[in-house]
C-alpha cells in the first residue's frame, strides 16, 4: 500500500505511543517547481487513544488550567511567564513554534518580538489578521538564554500542544522551524526535505516551513517560505495574490 516504515516512538512522556508511518506520496504543487525527486516522505503522527479521544475535547481554558503553575520539566525554573498560546480558539490555521523567547517570556504571549512582527506580516500577506489564527509553541516556558528546547522538555510539554490542536480543530497547522518540526514529526529529516508538502499531525494537515527568525537571518529563505504559505492558502481556500514583494 506504499507504506515504507511503521515504528513506534521512544520518548519519556510517550507511554501512550503514537504510531508514525512514513510513505511515499506525490509532492504538492509548490515543490514541483524545483528539481527534487517527484516523490517525498510524508509523515503521519497519530495520537494515543486516551489523549486523542475527541469526545473528551477540552476547552483552551481547561487546558490552561490543567497546566497550572507547571513544574513538569526544568524549564519552569527560569520562566517569568508561561506562554500558553494566543489567538482565535476556532482558528482554521494554527502556527506552532519551538518555544518562547525573551519578549514572549516577559509578556506571556507568543511571537511578540522581531520574529513575531514578521510572522504578523506573513499572516497579513496571506489575507488574514493575527486575530484570525492561533499561535503557540511546543514548549510553553522559555529555555535559558534562548537555547534550543531539549528533547525531554519538548516531549513533556507536547501533550498540551496535542490538546490545543484537538480543542481548536484547525484545518492546517504550520510548524515554524526545524526544531519544532523534528520534535512533533519524530524525525531527524532536514527542514529542507520536510517543507513544501503536508504531513499529518493528529488528523490535521501540517506544513513545515522556516522560522521567522531564520527569515530575518537569511532573506533567501523568504521565497520558499512564501511558496509553503501559498500551498497552505490554497488548502484554506484563500485567494492567492497575483504578485508579491519578495523584499517584504
Q: Is 231 in the site for ligand SF4 (CB under 6 A)?
A: no
Count the residues in the chain. Answer: 248
- Stretches 33-41, 120-128, 135-143, 234-242: which one binds ligand SF4 (CB under 6 A)? 135-143
138 in contact with ligand SF4 (CB under 6 A)? no
Q: Which of 17, 20, 18, 16 is nearest to 5 (CA)?
A: 20
Q: Binders of ligand SF4 among 60-79, rule CB under 6 A?
A: 67, 70-73, 75-76
156 binds ligand SF4 (CB under 6 A): yes
Of 82, 166, 208, 231, the one binding ligand SF4 by CB under 6 A:
82
**How many residues make contact with ligand SF4 (CB under 6 A)?**
14
Helices (H), the chain: 60-67, 102-107, 114-125, 151-168, 178-184, 191-194, 212-217, 222-236
Q: According to the binding rule CB under 6 A, does residue 185 interact with ligand SF4? A: no
Count how many Cα atoms sit within 13 Å of the Cα of residue 109 in the half-sphere of its side chain.
11
- The secondary structure of 149-174 as a DSSP string is PPHHHHHHHHHHHHHHHHHH--SEEE
Asked if 161 touches ligand SF4 (CB under 6 A), the answer is no
Question: Judged by CB under 6 A, does residue 121 bind ligand SF4?
Answer: no
The least distance separating ligand SF4 from the CB of residue 156, rounded to whole angstroms, comes to 5
Contact predicate 18/6, CB 8 Å: no
Instruction: From 87, 105, 73, select the one nearest 164 (Cα to Cα).
Output: 87
Which spans of this chain sit near ligand SF4 (rule: CB under 6 A)? 67, 70-73, 75-76, 82, 139-141, 153, 156-157
Amino acid at each position: 500500500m506504499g507504506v515504507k516504515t511503521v515504528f513506534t516512538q521512544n520518548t519519556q512522556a510517550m507511554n501512550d505511543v503514537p504510531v508514525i508511518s512514513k510513505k511515499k506520496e506525490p509532492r504538492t504543487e509548490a515543490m514541483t517547481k524545483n528539481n527534487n525527486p517527484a516523490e517525498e516522505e510524508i509523515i503521519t503522527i497519530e495520537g494515543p487513544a486516551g489523549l486523542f479521544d475527541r469526545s473528551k475535547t477540552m476547552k483552551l481554558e481547561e487546558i490552561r488550567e490543567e497546566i497550572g503553575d507547571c513544574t513538569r520539566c526544568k524549564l519552569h525554573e527560569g520562566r517569568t511567564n508561561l506562554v500558553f498560546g494566543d489567538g482565535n480558539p476556532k482558528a482554521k490555521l494554527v502556527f506552532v513554534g519551538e518555544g518562547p523567547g525573551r519578549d514572549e517570556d516577559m509578556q506571556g504571549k507568543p511571537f511578540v518580538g522581531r520574529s513575531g512582527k514578521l510572522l504578523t506580516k506573513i499572516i497579513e500577506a496571506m489575507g488574514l489578521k493575527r486575530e484570525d489564527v492561533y499561535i503557540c509553541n511546543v514548549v510553553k516556558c522559555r529555555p535559558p538564554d534562548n537555547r534550543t528546547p531539549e528533547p525531554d522538555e519538548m516531549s513533556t510539554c507536547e501533550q498540551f500542544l496535542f490538546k490545543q490542536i484537538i480543542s481548536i480543530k484547525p484545518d492546517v497547522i504550520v510548524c515554524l522551524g526545524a526544531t519544532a518540526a523534528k520534535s512533533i514529526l519524530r524525525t531527524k529529516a532536514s527542514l529542507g526535505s520536510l517543507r513544501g508538502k503536508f504531513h499529518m499531525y493528529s488528523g490535521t494537515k501540517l506544513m513545515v516551513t522556516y522560522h521567522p527568525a531564520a527569515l530575518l537571518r537569511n532573506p533567501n529563505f523568504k521565497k520558499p517560505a512564501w511558496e509553503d504559505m501559498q500551498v497552505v492558502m490554497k488548502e484554506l481556500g484563500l485567494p492567492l495574490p497575483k504578485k508579491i514583494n519578495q523584499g517584504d
